[in-house]
Amino acid sequence: MTTTAIPVRRAPKAGGFSLGFLGLEIRRLLRNRRTLVFTVVLPPAFYFLFGGASYTGESAGRGNVSAYVMISLAVYGAMIATTSAGASVSVERAVGWSRQLRLTPLRPVAYIVTKLLAAMVMGALAVAVVFLAAGVFGGARMDLWVWVVSGLVAWVGALVFAALGLFAGYLLPSENVMQLLGPLLAVLAFLGGLFVPLDVLGETFRNLAEYTPAYGVGALARMPLTDEGSLVTAVLNVAVWTAVFVAGAALRFRRDTARV
């Protein structure tokens, strides 16, 4: 009697992560009109509405006050972009797409990494649009290396909010996630000094700001321009909130996958 060998199914490389799937995620986000409005239109519009172009003649560190406003709103734009991209998992869970993906060789870690990378691409787009609008049309001026370092910090720091988006996406129902996150991000941006300088708000708000998620990223992004703020406090703020949101997202993700 002959026996037929059963083929061994090999796990895909890198857990199934692929640039094709990443590109699909990015294109899907770019086709979302609401995401594009909040990512591409709203932050530079805020720059002009808040009068960022009115401070071109006032100096601030290695540039002008317009550059200070620009950096703050670039951080806010990256916040919105990465959070909304990360929170899109709530919609995928609602329509059953996440369940379908679990039937494929795609590993959960590869799926999460893909979502984070797609969110970071949207964050880079938000920062670039604000910098371009403020630099070309809004009179923002600062040293060349400050443009590069501040832009990179605003972008990389947005990883905090990509993790927040994932956490919220697994925690909240799809019909409520962005309705809750939108106002929350605006409040966090205000408390973190992205809309109004903390010195204007008084000592109480300034002390409270150090414990909010937006403070660390904003302070680090503006530091190359102004040399103001505590580097240790800002880095600690970013590290702690990133750890909190990543841990929360991982916990909710494990509970979500355990139901299948």
**Tokens 């899907």 appear where?**
28
SS3 64: strand
- The CA-based angle 256-86-212, given to 5 degrees, is 105
What are the CA-CA distances from residue 44 to residues 21, 38, 53 (Å)? 30, 10, 11
* pLDDT, tens digit, 9 for 90 and up, residues 18-72: 778 788 888 888 887 877 887 888 888 988 988 878 888 888 888 898 999 999 9
Q: Is residue 15 scored above 80 in pLDDT? A: no
Crossing angle between the packed helical segments 108-136 and 231-258, to the nearest 10 degrees: 140
> What digits encode the pLDDT tens for the residues 162-199?
888 888 887 776 656 667 778 888 899 988 889 888 87
Instruction: Classify residue 61 as left (phi > 0), alpha (psi -120 to 50) or beta.
Output: left
How much is the average pLDDT of 236-252? Answer: 88
Q: What is the pLDDT of residues 72-111, one digit of tens each?
A: 999 999 998 888 877 777 776 666 666 666 666 667 677 7
Residue 9 pLDDT > 60, yes or no?
no
Instruction: Report the pLDDT value the prediction gives residue 116, as an integer from 0 to 100.
Output: 85
* Alpha-carbon span 243 to 14, nearest angstrom: 24
Whole-number pLDDT of residue 68: 92
Q: How far apart are CA 143 and CA 166, in angstroms?
A: 35
The C-alpha torsion from 105 through 108 and 112 to 115, rounded to 10°, is 40
Please give the residue that has the higher pLDDT: either 33 or 130.
Answer: 130
CB atoms closer than 10 angstroms to residue 95 = 10
* Burial class of residue 172 in the structure, from the number of CB atoms within 10 Å of its CB (0-12 exposed, 13-18 middle, 19+ buried): middle
Tell me the per-residue pLDDT of 136-165, one tens digit each, with 9 for 90 and over: 998 899 999 999 999 999 999 999 998 888
